[in-house]
Amino acid sequence: MKNIDSYTHTRGESIYLDDIPVQAGTLYAACFDSPVAHGKIKHLDLRAAENSYGVVRILTYKDIRGINQIGGIIPDEELFAEHHVHFCGMPVALVLAETDHQARAAVKKIKIEIEPLTVITDPRVAAALGELIVPPRTFKIGDSTAAWDNCDHIVEGSAYTNGQEHLYIETQGAYAIPGENGVIKIYSSTQGPTAVQRAVSKVTGLPMHMLEVDVTRLGGGFGGKEDQANTWAALVALATQITGKPAKYSLGRMEDIRMTGKRHPYSSDFKIGLNKDLKIIAYEVTFYQNAGASADLSPAVMERTLFHATNSYFIPNATATAYSCRTNLPPNTAFRGFGGPQGMFVIESAIAKAADELGIDPMEIQQKNLLKTGDEFLYGQKVVSEANECWNKAVEHFNASKLRQEVAEFNMQNRLYKKGIAFMPVCFGISFTNTMMNQGRALVHVYTDGSVVVSTGAIEMGQGVNTKILQVVQSTFGIDAAKIKVNSTNTYRIANTSPSAASATADLNGKATQIACTAILDRMKEVAANELNVTAGSISVCEEAIYLNGDRTTMDWKSLVLLTYSKRVSLSEHGHYATPGIHFDKTIEKGHPFAYHVFGTAITTVTIDCLRGIYEVDSVKLVHDFGGSMNKVIDLGQIEGGIVQGIGWMTMEEVVYDQEGRLRSNALSTYKVPDIYSVPKEIVVEYLETQQDNLAIFRSKAVGEPPLMYGIGTFFGLRNAIKNFNPGLRPPFAAPMTPERVLMNLYPGKPTVETTSATLEITAAPSI
Ligand code: MOS
C-alpha cells in the first residue's frame, strides 16, 4: 500500500502547523535570543521594542506563572534566561505583535548588555573542568585490562564526528488557542505531544488536563522535535495564558538553525586488540559527548552510544565509558540513531586503523567478528543475530569479489581518479533504552455505518506510520482501507504518549491498535455467534463478509456492526501495549533492554578526483533485515532517506561554531546538505526476510533509524580511495570527509587539520 498521505502531499493539500487557519486576534510571536554564548545579563532594554509599531506585549522570565524550567530529564534548562545566558540563541524575551513582520522588526530593537564569561565549545575541555551533565557511565564485558596480554596486535587512536543539523523541511513552531475556563489548545510541530503538555504545564502552572495538544503531522522531525519542540509551545502557551489571545510562532529557517540543538559531536579515544586470527580480543573506548548548555536528551543519547559501542561485533572483553560534557552550545539533542551512529563510527575507526597497521582490508576483521546468535553484548543481552546472514547475502548477491576487482582494475588504469570500497555492517537495538517509555495506546471507534476512526500516540512525520497503523486496522478487521481514518494525535484522546522516536513508533502504537481492534472484533464475533447460534470461534471476517467455519454467511461487516450496536455492545476500545520481556538495571549496567535488533550490511563504492578532492558515491548496495516487511514501499523510502542522511553527516554537513560559540554555518548558504546530485548513483536494497518470530508489529522490523548508519560506509569508502591513491596515507578518523578534507588527506602537507572541536594529527605520508 502506498503512503496514505501521498495524494494530499503531491497536491500541496496536507495540513502542517502553518496551514492551520488563523483565528481573528491571533498574536504573532518572535524570540529575542542571546547574541553571546556565555555571560551575565547586566541590562535588558525593551523600551524601543515595546514602542515599536504593532507590538502588544513583550514577555520575559518575570511573566512566568509556573516555573521557568523546561528540562525534561534534568531540570537544568530555563525557558527564558534570567540572569545568565548559556548559549548563543538562548531565548531572553518574546515579542508579541499583531503581525509576524512587526514582531520580528521589534526584536531587532531590543538591546542587551552582557558581561562575557568563559566560553567552552570543546567537550574535552569541559570534561577536564568537571563540567559534566551527569556522572560518566561505563559498560563492561569480560576484562579488557587483563585481555591485552592475549592480543597479538594492539592499536590506539582517536576519532571525531561532528554534529548535524536536522533540517526538517517544516521548521519548529506552535500555535496556542484559548478555550473556556483557562483551557489552552496547542497545535505543535512535535514528536512528543505529552512532552509538550508537560513542559507547558510546568511553565504555565496549569494542570495537564487543562492543556490539549494536537498534531496532524510534521514536515520531518529526525529527532529534532522529540524534545526541542517544547520551547516554542511553552512560549506561545504562556503568551495565551497572559494575554487571553491566540498566539503563534512559526520559526524562520535561520532562527531555527541558530536556536536549536543538533546531533551531538563526539570526540573519542579507542584501543583495540586482536589475536593473530584477527579475532577482536579486547576493546576500550572513551566517548566525550558535546552535550551543549543543558541536558535535554543527552544522557539518553550517551546511553545509546554505549549500547552500540561494539556495533555488529562480538567482543569478549570490552570497556566503554562515556562523558556527557556541558559546553556553551545550544543543547544538542536526539537525531536519527540517537548516539548509536557516533558509537559505531569509533569501533569502525578502530577496525580500520588496525587494518592499516596490519596492511589488510578492514573487511577481513569485520567479517571474522560478526555477532552470532547467542553472543552477549557488553550490556548483557544475548543476541538473536542476522549479522552473518546479511553479510553473506551481501557478499553473494552483489558479488563482492567482483566489485572489489572492478575497484582494483579501475585504480590500475587511473592515476588521478581512484575508487574506494567499504563494508558497513549495522546492528541497532529496538526499544527506548528507558524501559518505562516502551508503551503505546490506541483508541478505536467503529461507527454504525461500518467506518472506523483510530487515534494513537504515533506522530506522522513523513515516515509513513499512519499508513502502517491503517494497515493494522485493515487486516485485523478484514475491511477496506477506504473505511478507515487515522486521526490526528491528540492528548485528549491518547494520554501519556511516548514520543515518536527510537524507531519504535509503529511497533508500540501498531500493537496497541491491534489489541484494540481485536477486542472490538471479539465482541462482534460474539454477537454474530449468538445470532447464528454457533460459537464465536467459528466466525471470521474477510473482505467485509462474515464467514462461519470458512463459509460465507448472509451477514456482512456493516450489518454486523449495526447488529452489535443494536445489542448495546461497545464498538469502541482503548488498547494498551507494553513491550514484554525488556528490562535494564543501571546499577550494574546489565539487562535485556531491546525487544530485538535490526541488522544489515551495506557495500559502498566511491570515486574521488585526486586533483580536486571532489567525489561521487557510485553505489550503496545492501542487505537489510526486515523480519517480514509489512509495507515494502514505505520501508524502502526509509532506507533510501536514511542512507542519504547518513552520507550527508559523514561527508558534507559541517556544523561550525567559532571560538565564541557563534554558529557560522547558520544558513543553507553555509551548511551543505545532500541534494539530488549527491545521492548515490545507485542504491540497491535487498530484503532479508526471516521466519523466526520477533516483537515487531506483524514481524515487520523497525526501519526508522538503522539505515542512517549505512552512510558511515561512505566515510570508510572515501578513506579507502585515498589510500588507494597512496597506500602510505593514514587519513584521520574525523568526519565529515568534505572535499576539502579529502584533498588535505591526499596531500598532507600541513601538520594538522583543524576540526570544529578537535585537532587530529595526520601521520606524515611517504612521497608519491
Ligand atoms: Mo529519534 S533520534 O529517537 O527522535
> 516 pairs with which residues across the strands?
none
State the number of CA atoms in the 13 A half-sphere of 754 facing the CB.
6
CB-based contacts of 15, cutoff 8 Å, min separation 6? 216, 217
* pLDDT for res 751: 53
Ligand 1 in reach of 202 Cβ (< 6 A): no
Report which secondary-structure segment, H or E, holds 405. helix 400-413
Distance from the CA of 207 to the center of ligand 1, in angstroms?
27
* pLDDT for res 572: 99
Ligand 1 in reach of 336 Cβ (< 6 A): yes
| Spatial distance between the Cα atoms of 182 and 174, rounded to a whole number of angstroms | 18
Q: Is the distance from CB of 75 to CB of 25 less than 8 angstroms?
A: no
Cell representation of residue 610: 585526486
Q: Is the distance from CB of 31 to CB of 104 less than 8 angstroms?
A: no
CB-based contacts of 31, cutoff 8 Å, min separation 6? 91, 92, 93, 94, 95, 107, 235, 249, 255, 259
> How many residues belong to the chain?
768
Q: Is the distance from CB of 575 to CB of 566 less than 8 angstroms?
A: no
Atom in ligand 1 nearest the alpha carbon of residue 338: 2
Distance from the CA of 318 to the center of ligand 1, in angstroms?
26
Locate cell 544522557: which residue? 299
Sheet with 615-627, edge to edge strand ranges: 417-430, 596-609, 615-627, 682-689
Residue 425: cis peptide before it, omega within 30 degrees of 0 = no
Q: At what angle do helices 298-307 and 340-358 cross, to 10 degrees?
A: 40
Strands (E), 415-557: 417-430, 439-446, 452-456, 484-486, 489-490, 539-542, 545-548, 551-556
538, burial (CB in 10 Å: exposed 0-12, middle 13-18, buried 19+): middle
| Spatial distance between the Cα atoms of 149 and 431, rounded to a whole number of angstroms | 37
Rg, C-alpha atoms of the chain:
27
Atom in ligand 1 nearest the alpha carbon of residue 499: 4
Question: CA angle, 406 as apex, 400 and 409 as ends, to 5°?
Answer: 140
Distance from the CA of 226 to the center of ligand 1, in angstroms?
7
Q: Where are the alpha helices (DSSP H) in 12-160?
A: 47-50, 100-107, 123-128, 144-147
Q: Is 761 a catalytic residue?
A: no
Atom in ligand 1 nearest the alpha carbon of residue 501: 3
Ligand 1 in reach of 501 Cβ (< 6 A): yes
| Spatial distance between the Cα atoms of 617 and 151, rounded to a whole number of angstroms | 36
Ligand 1 in reach of 338 Cβ (< 6 A): yes
Report which secondary-structure segment, H or E, holds 761. strand 759-761
Q: Which has the closest alpha carbon to 711: 761, 627, 767, 647? A: 647
Q: At what angle do helices 400-413 and 387-397 cross, to 10 degrees?
A: 50
| Spatial distance between the Cα atoms of 358 and 335, rounded to a whole number of angstroms | 35
Ligand 1 in reach of 227 Cβ (< 6 A): no
501, burial (CB in 10 Å: exposed 0-12, middle 13-18, buried 19+): buried
Q: Is the distance from CB of 641 to CB of 727 less than 8 angstroms?
A: no
Q: Is the distance from CB of 221 to CB of 16 less than 8 angstroms?
A: no
Distance from the CA of 705 to the center of ligand 1, in angstroms?
8
- For 690-735, the DSSP string reads --S--SSGGGB---SSGGGGGGHHHHHHHHHHHHHH-TT----EEE
Q: Which has the closest alpha carbon to 370: 393, 338, 403? A: 393
Ligand 1 in reach of 226 Cβ (< 6 A): yes
520, burial (CB in 10 Å: exposed 0-12, middle 13-18, buried 19+): buried
Which is the catalytic residue, given 78, 460, 589, 705? 705
Low-confidence residues in the chain, pLDDT < 70 = 750-768
Q: Which has the closest alpha carbon to 711: 623, 648, 628, 619? A: 648
| CA-proximal residue: ligand 1, atom 4 (nearest) | 223
Q: Is the distance from CB of 582 to CB of 435 less than 8 angstroms?
A: yes
Cell representation of residue 523: 465482541
Q: Is the distance from CB of 455 to CB of 494 less than 8 angstroms?
A: yes
Distance from the CA of 76 to the center of ligand 1, in angstroms?
21
Atom in ligand 1 nearest the alpha carbon of residue 334: 2
| Spatial distance between the Cα atoms of 208 and 141, rounded to a whole number of angstroms | 43
| Spatial distance between the Cα atoms of 199 and 205, rounded to a whole number of angstroms | 10
Report which secondary-structure segment, H or E, holds 506. helix 505-532
> 627 pairs with which residues across the strands?
689, 700
Ligand 1 in reach of 422 Cβ (< 6 A): no
| Spatial distance between the Cα atoms of 592 and 587, rounded to a whole number of angstroms | 14
